[in-house]
Amino acid sequence: MQIERLSSGTKVIDELLNGGAEHTVITNFYGPPGSGKTNLGLLFTLSCLKQGNVVYVDTENGFSTERFFQMGGTKEDLKRVLYENPTNFKEQARVIQKLKKLNTKLIIVDSIVSLYRLELNKDNFTEVNKELANQLATLSFIAKEKKIPVIITNQVYSVNSDEIELSGRDVVKYWSKCLVELKKVDDNRRLAILRKHRSLPEGIKAEFEITGGGIDKAKFRIF
């Protein structure tokens, strides 16, 4: 059976993912601020709008209409983006439950953990992590039921000078069938590393640049 994939609209990421984000599962792009997570969310949004509506859940106020237009989006395109902007973790839970009833070709949650991190403390750790798992389980159910891709972004924190960890840790890793780590190489260059996938080898890499129009393959440089 052929697996359906949604193109990112940029060759470098499509090559890394063998065509794009898989339908029926959660794809997770994670990395530090400025690594390209929201840019990828916008690119996947624009790619999918040719097929139908997109739900964009923006928990970090990162969705920029100016950037959307820079990447080639139009005012008509914007009308087909169903925008949600929850301001706390409980509201995020209600929004995600509501998505079961919406007619959409793609769901993006940027990011899944920013409001989770604000909610989390030593007294409610178990309860809040259980709710995060419930939200991810719901998104996974929707992906399978509607046969669509679900794309989430994830914040990270430093474990030591050489290692980072995803916020939400094993809960997020379990529900994400594709994990792509994003790293900042310099002001404009980024590195994408495939960390988990159902059919592709882990560890494959792609360098890209954030440009005025979106994302392009990094240019060869002589050091």
Can you give 160-214 as a three-state secondary structure string? Answer: ECCEEEECCHHHHHHHCCEEEEEEECCCCEEEEEEEECCCCCCCCEEEEEEECCE
Q: 223 pLDDT band (50/70/90 cuts)?
A: very low
Percent residues over pLDDT 90 in the chain: 89
Token pair of 19 as six digits: 């065509």
Average confidence (pLDDT) over 129-142: 98
Q: Where are the domains of the chain?
A: 5-217
Predicted confidence (pLDDT) per residue in 88-97, tens digit:
999 999 999 9
What is the arithmetic mean of pLDDT over 90-112? Answer: 97
Q: What's the confidence (pLDDT) of residue 21?
A: 98
- Please say if the pLDDT value at position 170 is more than 70: yes
d(CA 182, CA 201): 17
Q: What does pLDDT average to over the chain? A: 94
Whole-angstrom Cα distance, residue 195 to residue 203?
A: 6
Mean pLDDT to the nearest integer, 159-185: 89
| Mean pLDDT to the nearest integer, 104-124 | 96
pLDDT at position 222? 44
Could you read off the pLDDT of 60-95 as tens digits, one per residue? 999 999 999 999 999 999 999 999 999 999 999 999
Is residue 144 pLDDT above 90, yes or no?
yes
More confident site: 50 or 144: 144
Q: In this predicted structure, what is the pLDDT of residue 221?
A: 61
pLDDT value at 163 more than 80: no
Please tell me the distance from the alpha carbon of residue 99 to that of residue 203, in angstroms, as a whole number. Answer: 33
Q: How far apart are CA 183 and CA 82, in angstroms?
A: 29
Q: Compute the average pLDDT of residues 179-188.
A: 92
Task: Please provide the CATH number assigned to the domain covering 5-217.
Answer: 3.40.50.300
